[in-house]
Chain A
Amino acid sequence: MGFNELSIEEFGQKLRAGEVTSEAVTKAILDAIDADQTNAFITKPDRDAALERAREIDAKLAAGEDLGPLAGVPIALKDNLCTKGVRTTAASKILGDFEPPYDATAVRKLAEAGAIAVGKANLDEFAMGSSNENSAFGPVDNPVNTDYVPGGSSGGSAAAVAGHLCLAALGSDTGGSIRQPAALTGTVGLKPTYGRVSRYGLIAFGSSLDQIGPITKTVRDAAYVLEAIQGPCEFDMTSMEVEAGDYQAAVDAGVSGLKIGVPKEYFELGAGEDAIHPEVKAAVQNALSTLEAQGAELVDISLPHTEYAIATYYLIATAEASSNLSRFDGVRYGHRSDDAPDLESLYENSRSEGFGDEVKRRIMLGTYVLSAGFYDAYYKKAQQVRTLIKQDFENAFQEVDAIVTPTTPSPAFKKGEKTDDPLQMYLEDIYTISCNLAGIPGISVPCGTTGDGLPIGLQILAPAFREDTLFQVAGEWERSGK
């Protein structure tokens, strides 16, 4: 087993036992990235800088400093997170060779925890997509089976973790963009509560939905990363100071006495090709039985507005995106068209040359639903239905501590399979989207594989700011599901 295949926890144990150094693991990771064939990275790490930083951490540890669990750990960053002086593209041509003058808060916090940044991971352009096929820098292969997509939009981050090109990665999740690729690649992906992690320096897509979170090899590793990146920051007024539970203790706590809700809509929705895949359903039911055997009480619940979540999401997320992406105008940074005789054509040509098809489609939809005469019928209505979806969860959490569902209706699909039909691609997010609309936390953990060897994901949802409950259930399943 190469050092690059270690989890953060295993690496930490070996590091403290003197069996490995940060320099050795960083070198193993850099070599693996150099040999990568999955296109997981848009910008590969600066080798000398990464190794120098690893040696600094090793020296501090040798001097007896206690640096915490992320010290010396190579972590990849989704390329919509700003990194000072390192090209940040959001997988779009419109950002050109943009080099941010500052670090995102989550990136800064990882550095303060001693992590080694190893490259900028591929994604769907502006985090818009569920397959990583919408990247201006080319699609990413699923390392489990390279004919298949790794999911998206954090496809590069998930592929990098699954392919052992980093020990962990940061992604972002607006409608499932951390959890869905985690499910499709057999990794752990956590979307924290809205407000748990500062969004400062995250290139905005849907500002009322976006959250930054970890993709890792184990549940405990996700807890380590969340501990490092959480907390309020003065540059994101929606980031909040809310007490966090003891995540490490939660991972080990077990589920005895915990009430777990099983929403019937997540197992019934859709018909024909949209219906839940039988092997996914069986795997999730098996996980539920295991959790029950470990002392959890299963409770049948209903989230009646689930079937309206995708429609609600695509109105709200595109409206917010059309507004957020208006800043890309070719004036202050990013791509500027050569064909710009006047200001109007500078805007139009720069944007038309810079944005890809899916991004244009979403800007158009968002502009339409916000435009005069349609605002009440579409945008306001979606905001009202969002309230109903949030109330569904509030009602459910009166009765249960957590909710368990599949992460996606089916395992990974083949490249090119859904690219011609945007709506079909949107339906991929059917089980993950409500969580963002309600602002609650969700985690996807590996739940076996299909007969074809494709990973299946188990999703756990909890009330706002109860990530500790997620870790409790996820930790138990990871232990007893083996």
Chain B
Amino acid sequence: MAISKEEVLHIAKLSRLKLSESEVDALAHNLSDILQYVEKLNELDVSGVEPMTHAVPTQMRLREDVVEQRLTRDDLMKNAPASQDGMFKVPKVVSD
């Protein structure tokens, strides 16, 4: 299956990536190659086969619902590229 440049741009939008012209060309080519390779799976009849979502069957373990403080707000804010008054700072989201 070949991927067009328009499709690459659409996927980039969904992926929140901005691509240069040359990246778009390269990805159209690479992704087409890879998707052509994975077509291989169509040789198999998988009707009725249960999809596998986890490697080992797991049951969610529950723990007591108690509040504990492992990390402080300062710990978590320390890596923020921009912050103000203990909050993450971003460009204006709502227009005037």
Residue positions of A touching B, CB distance < 8 A: 96, 98-99, 101-102, 193-195, 208-209, 232, 234, 237-238, 240, 305, 307-308, 310-312, 314-315, 322, 326, 329-336, 340-343, 345-349, 351-352, 355, 357, 360-361, 363-365, 367-368, 371, 378, 380-388, 390, 422-423, 426, 436-439, 464
Interface secondary structure of B, over-half rule? loop
Q: A331 and B90 in contact (CB under 8 A), knowing A368-B11, A382-B41?
A: yes
Q: Is the CB of A388 within 8 A of B49?
A: yes
Contacts of B56 in A (CB 8 A): 193-195, 238, 240, 439, 464
Residue in B12, B19, B49, B56 whose Cβ sees the most chain A Cβ within 10 Å? B56
| A367→B90 contact, CB < 8 A | no
- Contact of A334 with B81 at beta-carbon distance under 8 Å, contacts A238-B58, A343-B93, A387-B52 already known: yes
B38, B43, B80: the one contacting A332 at CB < 8 Å is B80
Residues of B within 8 A of A99 (CB): 78-79
For B20, the closest partner residue in chain A by CB is: A352
Flag whether B53 is at the interface (Cβ < 8 A). yes
Residues of B within 8 A of A98 (CB): 79
Name which of B15, B30, B60, B76 has the most chain A CB atoms within 10 A of its CB.
B15
Judging by beta carbons under 8 Å apart, are A381 and B46 in contact? Answer: yes
Give B94 Cβ to nearest chain A Cβ, in Å.
Answer: 10
Within the complex, the shortest CB–CB distance from A365 to chain B, in Å, comes to 6
The answer on a CB contact under 8 Å between A368 and B51 is no
Q: Residue-by-residue, is B8-22 near A (CB-CB < 8 Å gives 1, otherwise 0)?
A: 100110111111000
Contact A383 B53 (CB under 8 A): yes
Q: At the interface, is chain A mostly helix, strand, loop or mixed?
A: helix
Mask of B39-55 contacts with A, CB within 8 angstroms, 1/0: 01101101001111111
Does B91 sit at the interface, judged by CB under 8 A?
A: yes
Interface 0/1 of B72-96, CB less than 8 Å to A: 0001101111100000101111000
Whole-angstrom distance between the Cβ of A268 and the nearest chain B Cβ? 17
- Given the known interface contacts A315-B38, A343-B93, A348-B16, the answer about A385 and B33 at a Cβ–Cβ threshold of 8 Å is no
Complex Cα spacing A437 to B55, Å: 7
Is A388's CB under 8 angstroms from B46's CB?
Answer: yes
Interface string of B56-73 (1 = CB under 8 A from A): 101011010000001100
Give the one of A209, A345, A361, A426 with max B CB within 10 A: A361
- Given the complex, which residues of A lie within 8 Å of B44, measured CB to CB? 305, 308, 385, 388
- Cβ A343 vs Cβ B90 within 8 A: yes
Q: A308-B40, A365-B34 are in contact. List 13 more A-B contacts (CB 8 A).
A: A194-B56, A333-B79, A333-B80, A352-B17, A352-B18, A361-B27, A364-B11, A371-B11, A383-B52, A387-B52, A388-B44, A423-B37, A439-B56
CA distance A323 to B30 in the complex (A): 20
Are B58 and A387 in contact, CB atoms less than 8 angstroms apart?
no
Residues of A within 8 A of B80 (CB): 331-333
Separation of A355 and B16 alpha carbons in the complex (Å): 12
**CB neighbours of B25 from chain A (8 A):** none
Known contacts A364-B17, A368-B11, A423-B34: A311-B51 contact under CB 8 Å: no
